[in-house]
Structure 1
Amino acid sequence: MTDTHTTKTPLTLLGLGAMGTALARTWLAAGHPLTVWNRTAAKAAALAPEGALVAAEAAGAVAGNDLIVLCLLDDKSVEATLDGVDLTGKDLVNLTTGTPAEGRARAAWAEARGARFVDAGIMGTPSMIGAPETGGYVFYSGSRALFDTHRVTLEVPAGARFVGEDPGHAALHDVALLSAMYGLFAGISHAYALIEGEDIAPASLSPLLSEWLGAMGFFVGNAAERLTSRDFTSGVESNLAMQVAASATLLTTAAEQGVSAELITPYLDLMRERLAADPAAHAGEDTTGALTLLRRGAA
């Protein structure tokens, strides 16, 4: 069935953790006929009063609809849940968190069983599902035909962004953004640790941090341009040599404040390594060139 604005596509949802339950309630509220299954049956039964059809077995849930959404614990759970289940003619949408390699392998596994497949990465928390104002969305990759067929339904819980027919690219986008997030969290945590014990309230530092990090947001686009052109020197204002020299102040201050520098030293060490490899060639660069060292052993 092809989605339209007047037709509510029926679907099956396997997995009712916090995220799965949020997805289920959003589809039900939008009027989609929904079959649910969960290993712990009570979680599925709780959705029956809201209109969900509860399946006793995963195989029965899959048999009931053409569109099957998976929101399970991990890739092994997907394997175990669908072991022996007839997938012929089914459209599988895998919202289970996984790696790019798992997405590619699961796509081949699904296609060998006669199913179309897209992998996905959810950029949001359960509270962001069904709340478009929060900015949550989902990356999808794999079968473009599947995505186009069901896009309207997939966009009910959160925005849908298709990032290519390589089934591993949704997970790769997901992990790339989450990795950047944790790096940001590390720097923020270090900043707050520095003022612990001082007559500086965290609440007074908070707006300054937000303002400064926002001002430094240009680095995202700037780094992309430099990695594409491989030009790390044009238009540089704060060069690598200067930043390496200045990093000593960060480390000394941390020591004076009794704060471990473990959250920031990996990046500072990478900058020093880049400079030391060829000072004449790299001193005038910005810091983007340092990240090329991360692909250790890459072809």
Structure 2
Amino acid sequence: MTRNPGAGPTPVTVLGLGLMGQALAGAFLRAGHPTTVWNRTAAKAEHLVAQGGKRADSVRDAVAAGPLVVVCVSDYDAVHALLGPLGDVLDGRVLVNLTSGTTTQARETAAWATRQGSTYLDGAIMAAPGAIGTADAVVLYSGPRSAFDLHESTLTSLAAGTAYIGDDHGLSSLHEVAVLGLMWGIGNGFLQGAALLGAAGVDAAAFAPLARKGIGMVTDWLTDYAQQVDDGTYPALDATLDTHRAAMEHAIQESEFLGVNAELPRLIKSLTDRAVADGHGGSGYAAMIEQFRKPSGERP
């Protein structure tokens, strides 16, 4: 735990007690940190108070309770609505914002916090509330390295996978969006497959084990894909984009034949068509990165 000389574990304030905020406060309490909490609906703090937390009567009182303030609310507008009226009470404190948002919002909030005399860390939670405080949780932080180093051991109470990723405050939000895109891609791919098989009377539960194996196979490709992306060369180690494109046409035809929505495979094929038009028909699948790097709507 982070300690103040002679003062014991670092006191922590948590603002916002939705499902995630409650999980954050609970993890700090389990790790032995004096934890002050505030929420607009005070009743949400009752079980945390029963665990030893202190419920503040106001946001100002909560922030004033300790040197480390963690906020996790619905959006950045809510962050500013809570903290904007506080004036100099943030002066000298480290503000850790674990609210989801954009890189622009993170950087603008960092500049605002600096004007209040606060040191700002932006964070991204890569875990469900139930995983907070366990080895399964990952939380990324960006901002001044000195502030992260000062409170690293306290923040590790939230996640074994606690990582500092750079001094650009926007990096945490950017990593979160990247991982969400990965989650949606995998999830939508599974649901599209389940819809296809469901049209033939195959239960999704029967498809799930095969899907897990398929996802594992793709996971094994990622290290090589990453190296190809960084090198800018895309050898066809398994199949060319031309071969993939033919298979995509099969997916479209099967979807249409079975009366299943074909928009997802059509979108994927349209991007692949552009890659082939750019001369990547004989390249490996990682060449698709060139399409994702282009602004939306740009055509070859």
Q: What TM-score, normalized to structure 2?
A: 0.91
Distance 2:189 2:265 in 1: 7
Which residue of structure 2 lines up, in the alignment, with residue 163 of structure 1?
165
Deviations 1:119-144 (A, max 9, x none): 00000111111232xx1110111111
User: Residues 165-214 of structure 1: CA distance to partner in whole angstroms, max 9, x if unpaired?
Assistant: 11000111111011111001011001100111424333322211111221
Q: Deviations over 1:200-231 (max 9, x none)?
A: 33332221111122112233222211111111
| Partner of residue 194 from structure 1, selected from 193, 196, 213 | 196
After the TM superposition, which parts of structure 1 deviate over 6 Å for at least 4 consecutive aligned residues? none
1:77 aligns with 2:75: no
Residue 286 of structure 2 corresponds to: 288
1:107 to 110, 115, 121: 110
Paired letter, 2:133 = G
1:211 and 2:209 matched: no
Match of 1:147 in 2: 148
Structure 1 residue 25 displacement after superposition: 1.4
Distance 1:238 1:68, change over 3 A: same
SS of 2:175's equivalent in the other structure is helix
| Aligned equivalents of 1:92, 1:286: Cα separation in 2 | 45
Q: 1:13-162 alignment to 2 at 5 Å?
A: 13-85=14-86, 86-132=89-135, 135-159=136-160, 160-162=162-164
Q: Which letter does structure 1 place at the counterpart of 2:204?
A: P
Deviation at residue 253 of structure 1 after TM alignment? 1.0
SS in structure 1 at match of 2:168? coil
Q: Could you give the per-residue CA deviations for residues 16-63 of structure 1, whole angstroms, max 9, x where no partner exists?
A: 011111111121122210111111122124422221111111011111
Q: Distance in 2 between matches of 1:271 and 1:186?
A: 18
Q: Which amino acid aligns with 1:227?
A: V
**Matched residue, 2:252:** 251
Give the RMSD, CA atoms, in angstroms.
1.9
Deviations 1:76-129 (A, max 9, x none): 011000012121101001111111111111111111111111100000111111
Structure 2 letter corresponding to 1:290: M
Structure 1 residues 63 and 204: alpha-carbon distance in aligned structure 2, compared to 1, 3 A threshold: same
Q: Provide the rounded CA distance (Å) in 2 between the counterparts of 1:3 and 1:292.
A: 48
| Alpha-carbon shift at residue 297 of structure 1 (Å) | 4.1
For the residue of structure 2 that corresponds to 1:84, the secondary structure is: helix
Cα offset, 1:2, TM superposition: 4.2
The residue type paired with residue 28 of structure 1 is: L
Could you tell me how far apart the structure 2 residues matched to 1:172 and 1:226 are?
21
**Which amino acid in the other structure matches residue 44 of structure 1?**
A
- What's the secondary structure of 1:81's corresponding residue? helix
SS, match of residue 166 in structure 1 = coil
Gap runs ≥5 in structure 1:
none
Report the Cα distance in structure 2 between the residues aligned to 1:14 and 1:150, rounded to whole angstroms: 17
Amino acid at match of 2:223: G
